[in-house]
Amino acid sequence: MRHFHRFAYLLTMLSVCVPTLRAEPPAQSKRIPDRYQRRREHDPDGTGKFYMDREIAIVMSHEGAWWLDRPEREKEEEPKKVIEALDLKPEMVVADIGAGSGYYSFQLAEKVGPKGKVLAVDIQKEMLEIIRQRMKKQKVTNIEPILGTESDPKLPANSVDLILLVDVYHEFAFPFEMTEAMVKALKPGGRMVFVEFRKEDKKVPIKEVHKMTQAQVLKEMKPHSLKHDKTIKSLPWQHVIFFVKSAEKEEK
């Protein structure tokens, strides 16, 4: 019976990955840049939009926020190991991109301390409202909810020590533009960390478009001023891929 319930909530989670509440598309043009392609034949759980031969996944609605805070997540994903691997220091400025319900934001806020700051970015107002309510209830003052767009996280330039992206990059409608903006927001030597479900492992019980290989992440970061630092592969379902902003490269 226990295994049945586990399987049931996984199926439920995947069923809430629907594009019901997305941020407005970028206003600059209705035509997508040439770096993206539309394909009629695609994964039913994807958008039909491709970047570097990878199909972009459908965004999970705020209606699935409960899944982000499920008790089983501690065992399945071991988030404490992720937090430890980040090597956070007091007074750091950390951006939690695709913050959702704030599952990671509040853990990050505790680590950076009262003089540090967590910029909790999401494109769904409903998710940010959940964070605000939790901040009020828990009397947390070092988290700043930020409403981003599909192509811009709305972060100040050269202001962030570390950017964390947990199970979200694969859903970006405009991954190139988002990464470009995030790199600009990083301080020289700042770090960008991707936590993604391992597509290399067929045993990971997540739909294919919601997983990424390390090779694909490295491929998509190559055009940007980022250097691959290391990858942690010890989590049950995910890998943690670290990049460092290359101070010697000029921003485009």
What CATH class does 74-245 carry?
A: alpha beta
What's this model's pTM, rounded to 2 decimal places? 0.87
Quote the CA–CA distance of 63 and 21 in Å, as a whole number: 9
* Sequence-ordered list of residues with C-beta below 8 angstroms from that of 131, at least 6 positions apart, any chain: 99, 101, 102, 105, 120, 122, 143, 145
Which stretches of the chain score pLDDT less than 50? 1-29, 248-252
pLDDT value of residue 93 = 98
pLDDT value of residue 4 = 37
Domain ranges of the chain: 74-245
Q: Label residue 94 exposed, middle or buried (CB < 10 Å: 0-12, 13-18, 19+).
A: buried
pLDDT value of residue 247 = 65
Q: Label residue 120 exposed, middle or buried (CB < 10 Å: 0-12, 13-18, 19+).
A: buried
